[in-house]
């Protein structure tokens, strides 16, 4: 056992005092009978640790998958090799959050007073614990996150200094990385905190970060596209409402859209680029700030989160060329022209899904309820009618159905948030809700650093020859 110096003990004591103050703020909003999120997680994760130990001891040598050479060269698609507790993606059914479908989440999660859409902070609670919080717990958790929202001055100054033509996602990643200065995990690790306590500091960093993301996102939006002025955060408002108001939108239906958007974009199991990257970097014991920043850099790619921006740009080009004629015949011709030119139909297809993405369906139902006659929505709907048949006939895609990106832009356009380059930042705020719970779980169960084996093409050739010779 290492002996901590007096200065080390003093530093840890200061960190513990800060944690206690955060906990005290949260506790003001809880009844005496209800647990805070941190208390509840502390109660349940030891059983998860024992469950994993038992599983590994009894079945550690069981073969769970066979890997083909084409998978090694195909982005490792379909290889079963990651642990992700919050969600599982079924090719036919879509995403399940802790066993619950999106429609079930929409019904079961707590909602704001007079609201109809689920509160994303309640989903964070569910992803971390497997339990749906009460309304009182959700309100208290909302208040806890709001109490952590203030940005350090150097981060605010940094955001104000960035050029307006720097992509919003680059600004987002820079700001999150700069928050490393406040990392409780990094400070505790440097002072030799015990491994069993890693989760505690990861938890605090994750909530601190989650509380600050709406302010960072809104600051970027207001700096780049508006006057740079930011509204005050409401300490009594829920997460989605605060994000909407910080962006400058008061429309109650837009607030509802933000709640839905953040919920359905949060988690899509652990193999996607942003989730896997966050988990991978976290496995090296980088702080939640550095881990999420890495994940955001992955999300910024056009084959991942920035696809929603590309879909919208393609829709605008289509709209311009068909000159208002959204008939199925005209749309079908445009789709064939797109495919025959060697391009893809953006927003269609998915690496795992083989049916219409339930996240697309949730957004479509929101549109049908709130703006069924919106011109861009009508265009998206006609494409939905026509595109699957065209893609099936072409025969080059395993999934001819729309994914979430196919529909995520037009609701934002309808409510006036028309700056498409900002959309992935909203996606990034949502994705944090999905990936940060797994970071906390990873540290609680003592997950090791991730280190798969790689080979050169020459080595794979030798392996293939050896395997085929044995057969």
Total residue length of the chain: 471
**By CB neighbour count within 10 A (0-12 exposed, 13-18 middle, 19+ buried), where does 43 fall?**
exposed
Spell 126-147 as b/e; 16+ CB within 10 A means b.
bbbbeebbbeebbbbbbbbbbb
Is residue 61 flagged as an active site residue?
no
Reduced DSSP (H G I as helix, E B as strand, rest coil) percent helix, strand, coil of the chain, to 5:
65, 5, 35
Q: What is the DSSP string of 299-335?
A: HTSTTTTTHHHHHHHHHHHHHHHHTT---HHHHHHHH
How far is Cα of residue 197 from the mean position of the Cα atoms in its chain?
25
Give the up-direction half-sphere exposure of residue 257: CA atoms within 13 A in the CB hemisphere. 29
Query: Which residue among the candidates 267, 357, 405, 442 is catalytic per the annotation?
Result: 405
Q: Which residues contact 253 (CB under 8 A, 6 or more apart)?
A: 370, 415
Query: Which residue among the candidates 265, 350, 407, 442 is catalytic per the annotation?
Result: 350
User: In sequence order, what E strands does 184-276 have?
Assistant: none
Query: Which residue among the candidates 279, 304, 407, 410 is catalytic per the annotation?
Result: 304
- Nearest of 233, 248, 217, 247 to residue 150 by alpha carbon: 233
104 CB neighbour count, 10 Å cutoff: 12
Is residue 350 flagged as an active site residue?
yes
Is residue 265 flagged as an active site residue?
no
| In contact, 204 and 19? CB cutoff 8 Å | yes
Q: Helices H, strands E: what count in the chain?
A: 21, 2
Q: Report, as residue numbers or ranges, the catalytic residues.
A: 304, 350, 405
């Amino acid at each position: 056992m290492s002996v901590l110096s007096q200065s080390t003990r003093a530093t840890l004591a200061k960190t513990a005092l800060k944690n206690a103050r955060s906990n005290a703020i949260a506790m003001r909003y809880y009844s005496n009978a209800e647990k805070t999120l941190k208390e509840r997680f502390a109660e349940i994760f030891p059983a998860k640790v024992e469950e994993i130990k038992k599983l590994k001891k009894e079945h550690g040598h069981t073969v769970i998958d066979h890997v083909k050479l084409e998978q090694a060269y195909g982005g490792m698609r379909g290889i079963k090799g990651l642990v992700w507790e919050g969600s599982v993606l079924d090719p036919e059914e879509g995403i399940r959050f802790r066993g619950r479908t999106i429609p079930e989440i929409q019904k079961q999660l707590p909602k704001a007073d007079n609201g109809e859409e689920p509160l994303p902070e309640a989903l964070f609670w569910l992803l971390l614990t497997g339990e749906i919080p009460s309304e009182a717990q959700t309100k208290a958790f909302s208040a806890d996150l709001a109490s952590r929202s203030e940005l350090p001055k150097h981060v605010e100054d940094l955001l104000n200094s960035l050029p307006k033509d720097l992509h919003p996602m680059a600004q987002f990643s820079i700001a999150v990385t700069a928050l490393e200065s406040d990392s409780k995990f990094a400070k505790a690790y440097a002072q030799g905190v015990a491994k069993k306590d890693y989760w505690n500091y990861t938890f605090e960093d994750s909530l601190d970060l989650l509380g600050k993301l709406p302010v960072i996102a809104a600051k970027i939006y207001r700096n780049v596209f508006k006057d740079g002025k930011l509204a005050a955060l409401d300490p009594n408002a829920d997460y989605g409402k605060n994000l909407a108001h910080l962006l400058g939108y008061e429309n109650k239906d837009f607030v509802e859209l933000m709640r839905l958007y953040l919920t359905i974009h949060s988690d899509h199991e652990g193999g996607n680029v942003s989730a896997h990257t966050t988990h991978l970097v976290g496995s090296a014991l980088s702080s939640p700030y550095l881990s999420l920043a890495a994940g955001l850099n992955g999300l910024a790619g056009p084959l991942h989160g920035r696809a929603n921006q590309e879909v919208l740009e393609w829709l605008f080009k289509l709209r311009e060329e068909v000159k208002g004629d959204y008939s199925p015949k005209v749309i079908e011709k445009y789709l064939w022209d797109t495919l025959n030119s060697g391009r893809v139909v953006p927003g269609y297809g998915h690496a795992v899904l083989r049916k219409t993405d339930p996240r697309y369906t949730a957004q479509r139902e929101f549109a049908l309820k709130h703006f069924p006659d919106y011109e861009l929505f009508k265009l998206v709907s006609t494409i939905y009618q026509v595109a699957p048949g065209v893609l099936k006939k072409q025969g080059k895609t395993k999934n001819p159905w729309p994914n979430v990106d196919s529909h995520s832009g037009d609701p934002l356009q309808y409510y006036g948030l028309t700056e498409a380059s900002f959309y992935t930042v909203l996606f990034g705020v949502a994705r944090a809700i999905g990936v940060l719970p797994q970071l906390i779980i990873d540290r609680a169960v003592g997950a090791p650093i991730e280190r798969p084996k790689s080979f050169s093409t020459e080595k794979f050739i030798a392996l293939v020859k050896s395997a085929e010779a044995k057969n």
